[in-house]
Structure 1
Amino acid sequence: MPQSAPADFQKLVTFLVAPFLESPDSLRVDCEVRANRKKVLVRMAFEGEDKGRVFGRGGRNVQAIRTILQGVGKLSGYDVYLEVFGSPAGGRDQEASSRHRSSRPERRSRPSRPRPRN
């Protein structure tokens, strides 16, 4: 299958995220394409008060956006990564990366099984 040019990820992210925002004008999207490595890095920033709506409960909204971007990227032959920043003015205040991690540690311990007495 021939590789096509990368999709317009900037417009796609704007289309997907703008409905979640109180002021869609605050959305900033930057797209960096590395053709030699077949990678696309999409960065988006918006006002902090819209964070909850964009991320959604448990990060479902932002994960759905990542899934769509990855699917469209695969059709073009590119790996797509999304970075989300809390505020376009702050820029350095990164909220989530392509691998979102919870701040709570996972509880993995189980109660110990009683051993039979001899």
Structure 2
Amino acid sequence: MSSNRSMPESSSREGLGHSTPPRSANPNYVELVRFLIQPFLESPESLKVDCELSASRPKIWIRLAFDSSDKGRVFGRGGRNIQAIRTVLEAAAQSSGQAIYLDVFGGDPVGNRDEAAEPESSSKSQPPRSAPPKSAPKLRTQ
């Protein structure tokens, strides 16, 4: 290993004229959210982002809205995508001493879109019957 590798990255940047931003600087949450969400959207122009900073407390509320047809991709299987996005936003907020809350809005809630399919899913648990149900067995009396 050379001695250059053991030097901290920030000190080598300072020598080159680069400076690191102060820790108290607020990240641009709107652009960060757009960067993280847009790859999942079929129509990125439908993305609406509202960022509200609390004056009294170090809290940020971010509200998202996009086409309901993109919800499955944005949320991901088991909510993995949206959880990863929340984690990145929380890390950015925590680095500047803030707390962040992410709310996602859409045209149709995920459950409403699939109401027609719901009865089918409940019928899948029971096999379809082609014959009428059998009568109960008769008890013998002596």
TM-score (structure 2 length as normaliser): 0.59
1:84 alignment counterpart: 104
Residues 68, 109 of structure 2: 8 Å contact kept? no
Greater per-residue strand proportion: 1
Q: What residue identity is the alignment partner of 2:24?
A: S
**Aligned partner of residue 73 in structure 2, secondary structure:** helix
Looking at structure 2, the residues matched to 7 and 54 of structure 1 have their Cα atoms a distance apart, in angstroms, of 22
Structure ranking higher on relative contact order (CA contacts 8 Å, 6+ apart): 1
Task: Give the percent of matched residue pairs that are identical in Structure 1 and Structure 2.
Answer: 57
The equivalences for 1:30-49 within 5 A come to 30-49=50-69
Residues 84, 94 of structure 1: 8 Å contact kept? no
- The alpha carbon displacement at 1:94 in A equals 6.7
Gaps of 5+ in 1: 88-92, 96-118
Greater per-residue helix proportion: 2
The equivalences for 1:89-104 within 5 A come to none
Work out which of the two has the higher radius of gyration on C-alpha atoms and give 1 or 2.
2
Gaps of 5+ in 2: 1-21, 111-142
Cα 1:8–1:94 shift into 2, 3 Å: farther
1:60 alignment counterpart: 80
